[in-house]
């Protein structure tokens, strides 16, 4: 899916938190970098339809956002809520909402579960899970949906290093078959490992966008240079 | 030998105790045969009222909790006022509505259990609605967001919120039922406290106390307490299991 952003503005009262003239996202993994309050979460909330823009447009294959577009976008928010059910039921909850049949559910579980070694967690109720385990279940719940666009806000922030690497392999799998994956992270090294493209944001604007090697090896903005040098 | 004697002695005592208990229960229900229908009607009326009020109160409560709109604050203020509305006032309003000269007079509802259910519904609805809004507001928004991000429709989202907040909502429904079954003013006015037809536990207590029959009034009071106790035990067990 091609996502085009045109003159996108988001205001909260008098404060302008996002102002993007033009942006186009295609297939592949896009990693959004930026400091706190740079507008990363606002941008993905707007793209996913969770927020309405103050002005401007977001087009999905040339069409405006509607209920049919929502079906092609899945989102993992920063602090995901897990239902008071078993991990297994949590993982398949989205598939059940979408009325996916049992055979297909089994196929998807077989395809994705092994990435994060969660077999032993499947029977556990969500309130017994640790922070990292909750993050894994929430990521899998989003992954199994196999939507054209998957948006993830700091999906590995609560995971240990080993699990983070495994989750990154899962992100690459999600992006296979010409899908679009948008990942917000503060981890520049993670961006190097998984990104096809990198967006760098500051003060509600996209400062740099391009192939990860171009942006991370040859940054143009002084702020990104400063961050990468640290 | 001594042990055998003791054993037979205790078994005789136990048998004796059983007989005494049986005689007590048998004698009790013979004496108070008119009490059982009163208890049954109380439960029937209050359970029906709590069920109907919950059906509308929980659903509308969750919807209001999820949405921000101009009139929300006003609705909540009015609800808070209605939560403490005197039952006799509700009784008066329902009486005027269903009395022969009232707008619903042709239905012949006055002094029927249906009229009692209507007045208890009006009494309980604001309680269930108000408590639902305040108890699920925080959690409901998180659950709604999750449902949307997973592609759930409105119906699935609402059902998921009701299911996820079931423990809070169960407490809300219990509070509503408690209010209904303990209410006396409204059911007295619109039911008429007619023996065998609209007499419920609370109106029975009021009547028997007025007649000086404290024994029967106290017994019904104990039954009311027992019902409340049993409901709380069930609620506690469900919460522990969860």
Q: What is the pLDDT of residues B111-132, one digit of tens each?
A: 999 999 999 999 999 999 999 9
Q: A83-92, B12-21, B179-188, B210-219: which has the minimum mean pLDDT?
A: B12-21
- Cross-chain residue pair A97–B147, CB shorter than 8 Å: yes
Give the CATH number for residue A179: 3.40.50.300
Q: Are A155 and A135 in contact (CB under 8 A)?
A: yes
Residue B97 has pLDDT above 80, yes or no: yes
pLDDT computed for residue A226 by the predictor: 85
Domain span including residue A14: 3-229
Residues of B in contact with A70 (CB under 8 A): 148, 151
pLDDT computed for residue B7 by the predictor: 59
Q: Mean pLDDT over residues B205-232, rounded?
A: 89
Short-list A146, A147, A148, A1, CA closest to A60? A1
Question: DSSP 3-state assignment of B43?
Answer: helix
Q: Mean pLDDT over residues A104-125, rounded?
A: 93
pLDDT computed for residue B5 by the predictor: 58
Q: How far apart are CA A198 and CA A194, in angstroms?
A: 10
Residue A169 has pLDDT above 80, yes or no: yes
pLDDT digits (tens, 9 = 90+) for B181-199: 999 999 999 999 999 899 9
Q: By the CB < 8 Å criterion, does A76 face chain B?
A: yes
Residue B2 has pLDDT above 90, yes or no: no
pLDDT computed for residue B240 by the predictor: 80
- Cross-chain residue pair B164–A93, CB shorter than 8 Å: no
Mean pLDDT over all residues of chain B? 88
Q: How far is B70 from chain A (nearest CA, A)?
A: 17
In chain A, the number of structural domains is: 1
In chain A the first and final C-alpha atoms are separated, in Å, by: 35
Q: By the CB < 8 Å criterion, does A137 face chain B?
A: no
Q: Mean pLDDT over residues B95-119, rounded?
A: 94
Short-list B196, B221, B225, CA closest to B206? B221
Higher pLDDT pick, B215 / B206: B206
Interface test with A, best of B138, B146, B242 (most A CBs within 10 A): B146
Question: DSSP 3-state assignment of A124?
Answer: coil
Alpha carbon distances (Å) from B103 to A21, B96, B106, B107, B118: 63, 8, 8, 9, 15
Q: Are A87 and A80 in contact (CB under 8 A)?
A: no
Residue B71 has pLDDT above 70, yes or no: yes
Residue B168 has pLDDT above 80, yes or no: yes
Residue B36 pLDDT level (bands cut at 50, 70, 90) = confident
B192-206: b or e for each residue (b if 16 or more CB lie within 10 Å)? Answer: bbeeeebbbbbbbbe
**The token pair that represents A46 in the structure block:** 């707007």
**The token pair that represents B178 in the structure block:** 């408690």
Interface test with B, best of A49, A67, A71, A84 (most B CBs within 10 A): A84
Q: A92-96, A221-225, B99-103: which has the minimum mean pLDDT?
A: A221-225
- Cross-chain residue pair A84–B152, CB shorter than 8 Å: no
pLDDT computed for residue B219 by the predictor: 86
Q: A104-108, A209-213, B211-215: which has the minimum mean pLDDT?
A: B211-215
CATH number of this structure's domain B35-202:
1.10.3720.10
Residue of B nearest to A74 (CA): B149
- Cross-chain residue pair A98–B153, CB shorter than 8 Å: no
pLDDT computed for residue B17 by the predictor: 66
């Amino acid at each position: 899916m091609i996502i085009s952003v045109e003159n996108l503005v988001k205001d909260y009262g008098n404060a302008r938190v996002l102002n993007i003239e033009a942006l186009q996202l295609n297939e592949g993994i896009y990693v959004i970098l930026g400091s706190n309050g740079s507008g990363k979460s606002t941008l993905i909330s707007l793209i996913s339809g969770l927020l309405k823009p103050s002005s401007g447009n977001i087009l999905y294959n040339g069409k405006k956002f509607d209920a049919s577009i929502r079906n092609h976008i899945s989102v993992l928010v920063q602090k995901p809520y897990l239902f008071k059910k078993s991990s297994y039921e949590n993982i398949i909850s989205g598939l059940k909402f979408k009325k996916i049949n049992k055979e297909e559910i089994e196929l998807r579980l077989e395809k994705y579960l092994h990435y994060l070694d969660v077999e032993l967690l499947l029977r556990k109720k969500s309130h017994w899970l640790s922070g990292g385990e909750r993050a894994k279940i929430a990521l899998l719940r989003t992954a199994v949906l196999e939507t054209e666009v998957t948006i993830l806000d700091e999906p590995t922030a609560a995971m240990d290093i080993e699990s983070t690497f495994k989750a990154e392999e899962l992100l690459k799998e999600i992006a296979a078959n010409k899908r679009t994956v948008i990942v917000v992270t503060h981890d520049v090294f993670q961006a190097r490992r998984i990104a096809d493209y990198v967006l760098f944001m500051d003060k509600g604007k996209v400062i740099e966008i391009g192939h990860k090697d171009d942006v991370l090896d040859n940054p143009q903005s002084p702020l990104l240079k400063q961050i990468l040098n640290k | 030998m001594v042990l055998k004697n003791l054993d037979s002695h205790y078994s005789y005592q136990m048998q004796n105790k059983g007989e005494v208990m049986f005689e007590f229960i048998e004698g009790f229900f013979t004496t108070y045969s008119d009490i059982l229908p009163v208890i049954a009607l109380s439960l029937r009326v209050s359970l029906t009222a709590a069920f109907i009020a919950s059906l509308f109160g929980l659903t509308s409560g969750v919807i209001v909790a999820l949405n921000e709109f101009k009139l929300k604050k006003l609705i909540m203020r009015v609800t808070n006022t209605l939560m403490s509305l005197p039952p006799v006032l509700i009784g008066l309003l329902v009486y005027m509505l269903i009395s022969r000269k009232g707008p619903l007079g042709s239905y012949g509802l006055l002094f029927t259990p249906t009229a009692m259910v209507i007045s208890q519904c009006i009494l309980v609805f604001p309680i269930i609605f108000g408590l639902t809004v305040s108890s699920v507001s925080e959690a409901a928004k998180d659950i709604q967001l999750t449902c949307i991000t997973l592609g759930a429709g409105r119906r699935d989202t609402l059902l998921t919120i009701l299911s996820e907040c079931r423990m809070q909502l169960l407490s809300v429904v219990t509070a509503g039922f408690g209010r209904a079954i303990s209410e006396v003013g409204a059911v007295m006015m619109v039911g008429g406290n007619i023996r065998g037809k609209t007499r419920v536990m609370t109106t029975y207590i009021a009547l028997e106390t007025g007649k000086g029959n404290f024994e029967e009034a106290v017994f019904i009071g104990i039954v009311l307490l027992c019902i409340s106790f049993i409901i709380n035990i069930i609620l506690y067990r469900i919460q522990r299991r969860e």
